Structure 1
Amino acid sequence: MRATPLTSIASLAAVALLATGCGQGLLGGGDGGDTAKTNEPIVLGMLIPQSGSEAAIGPYMSNAAQLAVDEINAKGGVLGRKLQLKTADDACDAQSAAAGANKLVTEGVDVSVGGYCSGATLPTLPIFGKANIPMIIPAANSQELVDQKLKHVFLINGTGTQQAAAAEKWMTKQGAKSVALMHDNTSYSKDIALRTQTLLDAPGGADTALIEAVTPKESDYSANITNVLAKKPDFVYWTGYFQEGGLIARQLRQAGYKGSIMVGDGSVSPKLVEIAGPEAAEGVYATMTQTPDTLEGAEGWIEAYKKKFGAEPGPYSNQAYDAVRLAAEAVGKAGGTDGAKVIAALEAIDGFQMFSGPLKFTPEHTLSNGGFQILVVKDGKIILQDSLK
């Protein structure tokens, strides 16, 4: 879903929060059935990478989440209670994520609003589920998360299926004839590659030259590059994260590859350009949902973020901001933090205004439209290339 033209996203957020205060009301007033917790904060937990190769993404998400918390609290909180954000490091690693999820459960979080790496998010699903904690996942989007069919899990980023469709549509539009798909064997990355392969190999699509799996966190992918170039593709699609994506883009160009390079949403970060180098990164495409730079009418929100944190908002900051706002909306509608009631409130959401547009979940608890667009690196910056409308 594309963002609707707005004079100020920050103003919209405030209006939306006030407008949803029906019944007992979202902002102030009433104990909403949580009488034992009337004076306690509503605690939101956020698992994000704060260490490891994806650590650059963590601050974007936690800062934006805190911005939403502060804005809601300034207007009276939810049901007369303040919001509180607690973060934990998942290091984009399954074991670390499980430990972080258990830590947040022990600390008494009411709703989870984190999840960046799908492979790290997957093992947290049963942990939060057993504790009856609803999960609003802002970034992680492997179809495997959806396939668990868990009632407490909601995704507000486009799915791997939707991303694969966007990738195939763009490559076809560009006249690709032979595509090399590269992934890192993680749930998220492999899922997108395989789904893209299925679409490419359908009648009328480009041929899949090969699927090449790499070992993450290495510094030399020359053997993988050799395998790819031997198939003479005119398009290479990397579906993993930016650390490897930057190296692969650079080593492809160093090896003489002249065709198109595209990366998945896990590689959309200024770090991609930094690692690849400006020359190798130039012209690299990316499949991605909305980023602050591509949102229409987001100037006010961007300025509010910059004023508070002294930095530009980066990828997944807008999704993290919306995750907090959506959690507040659901708790307000539920009249408290009872997990089952919050889940029911999330399922009943219809038209809640987010950056990506009015929200209504599908029966699978995903967005009805993934909102993927094509970005491109130009003059060292990642900008919008095509909205794929």
Structure 2
Amino acid sequence: MKTHPTTPAASPLAVRTPSHAATLAAILTAVAVSTTGCGGLLDSSSKGGSSKGPIILGMDIPLSGSSADIGPYMRNGAQLAVDEINASGGVLGRKLQLQTEDDACDPKTAVAAANKLVAAGASVSVGGYCSGATLPTLPIFDKQKIPMVIPAANSNQLVAQHLKHVFLINGTGKQQAAAAVAWLAKDGAKSVAVMDDNTSYSKDIADLTYAQLGTAGAPSKATEEAVNPGESDYSPNVTSVLKSNPDYIYWTGYYQEGGLLIRQFRQAGYKGKFLVADGSVDRKLVEIAGGSGGEGVYATMTQTPQTTPGAENWIASYKQKFGAEPGPYSTQSYDAVRVAAEAIKAAGSTDGDKVTASLEGLNGFQTFAGPLKFTSDHTLSNGGFVILTVKNGDFALQDSLN
């Protein structure tokens, strides 16, 4: 495998909108400055009791189970950032080391994975895909004062506990629900059925979306239906939903069940439209739906590498290093590492409280989502959701909702 040839200063980050184009030079400079010139800073504390070894960044991601396809995208995106930062001298004169653990998107497995990362001496957690699996890890990391920079999981329950060390760099469920309602109204939906899988992430978005339906300017409510994840036959749910006669169905769960539902709705004669949430944005959704059955499906999603203006060189760097196309949440995971490194550098230490204070103080740090500044809830002020649509078997940008 070829070694990645670029340093952070030469790795072009994306800008999401034309209004950010003038800041491209600042983005490149920010990456270089945040990862170089750190050798003169002394690290006052380190997990594991040493200030000389590598700084460990822990990452719980799904490497098995129904969402296993997402894990490698996240791991590779994070590793790309680690390698770039290390090539420029590391942070505080030390190298970064990424340690990944499989959480299988399962709460019990995730707890075990989080405890492994704590035992390994992780200074910051940069993982989290499934909200239901990420939630039980929050008190584990928080108790050890290990900051969490969560790149993908986005249930509002993650921040509802107001834990000091928890930060989200993906848009929240509330922001995604607002984007869904805006698109449904814009696309002329008349009656919408909302479906979820009863997990924290999925139910959060579904409930928030359904609550807004029927209000001024929004489509009317058809029904809200929950399914049991992991099943192969959803015909009872399909029959129940079709009785409400929707012309639009919004599925807020993951791609495995989403693909099956789309296929079974089409087989049952449903002619309306589908909208899916970000957990279903994967090529596997289209494969499971039956190819042509997935064509034209819409999705609420933060930008993927392929739909981000200006990300071509970053994609090329990723492909050169890993021999594959980047996928959903690879850029967010890349940024999670960069944000963590910037906070450690600003703190001059890996002390959890000091790094957390640095995260709260970030103002204008350049990421794929634009200049970063956390709200008082440790979320993004703008979720950055766009509408994607399936064209020729893959997701492409449909509408920026601007």
Identify the TM-score tier after normalising by the shorter chain: over 0.9
Distance 1:167 1:81 in 2: 43
Work out which of the residue numbers 295, 299, 303 in structure 2 matches 1:282. Answer: 295
Match of 1:220 in 2: 233
Distance 1:343 1:61 in 2: 22
Alignment of 1:1-389 (within 5 A): 3-4=16-17, 14-20=28-34, 27-34=38-45, 37-389=50-402
Query: Offset of 1:201 from its aligned partner?
Result: 2.6
Q: State the AA in 2 paired with 1:296.
A: P
Q: Per the alignment, do residues 180 and 154 of structure 1 end up closer, same or farther by CA in structure 2, a change over 3 Å counting?
A: same
Instruction: Report SS of the residue matched to 1:37.
Output: coil
Unaligned runs of 5+ in 2: 1-13
Count of matched residue positions in the alignment of Structure 1 and Structure 2: 386
Q: Per the alignment, do residues 76 and 4 of structure 1 end up closer, same or farther by CA in structure 2, a change over 3 Å counting?
A: farther
- 8 Å contact from structure 1 (residues 26, 332) kept in 2: no
Q: Per the alignment, do residues 209 and 71 of structure 1 end up closer, same or farther by CA in structure 2, a change over 3 Å counting?
A: same
Instruction: Report SS of the residue matched to 2:135.
Output: helix
Distance 1:177 1:240 in 2: 22
Deviation string, structure 1 residues 91-120 (Cα, Å, up to 9, x no partner): 001000001001100111000000000000
Instruction: Report SS of the residue matched to 2:269.
Output: coil
The TM-score, its normalising length taken from structure 2, stands at: 0.93
Query: Offset of 1:17 from its aligned partner?
Result: 2.5
Where has structure 1 moved over 4 Å in runs of 4 or more? 4-14
Q: State the AA in 2 paired with 1:306.
A: K
- 8 Å contact from structure 2 (residues 15, 21) kept in 1: no
Unaligned runs of 5+ in 1: none
Deviation string, structure 1 residues 195-250 (Cα, Å, up to 9, x no partner): 00111132332121111100001111111000111111000000000000000111
- 8 Å contact from structure 2 (residues 185, 217) kept in 1: no
Between 33-42 and 51-60, the greater mean CA deviation after superposition: 33-42
The TM-score, its normalising length taken from structure 1, stands at: 0.96
Query: Offset of 1:141 from its aligned partner?
Result: 0.1
Q: State the AA in 1 paired with 2:293.
A: A
Distance 2:383 2:62 in 1: 23
Q: State the AA in 1 paired with 2:370.
A: G
Q: State the AA in 2 paired with 1:308.
A: K
Deviation string, structure 1 residues 64-88 (Cα, Å, up to 9, x no partner): 1001000000000001000000000
Percent identity over the alignment is: 65
Instruction: Report SS of the residue matched to 1:236.
Output: strand
Match of 2:5 in 1: none
Distance 1:332 1:13 in 2: 17
Distance 1:284 1:230 in 2: 21
Q: Per the alignment, do residues 67 and 314 of structure 1 end up closer, same or farther by CA in structure 2, a change over 3 Å counting?
A: same
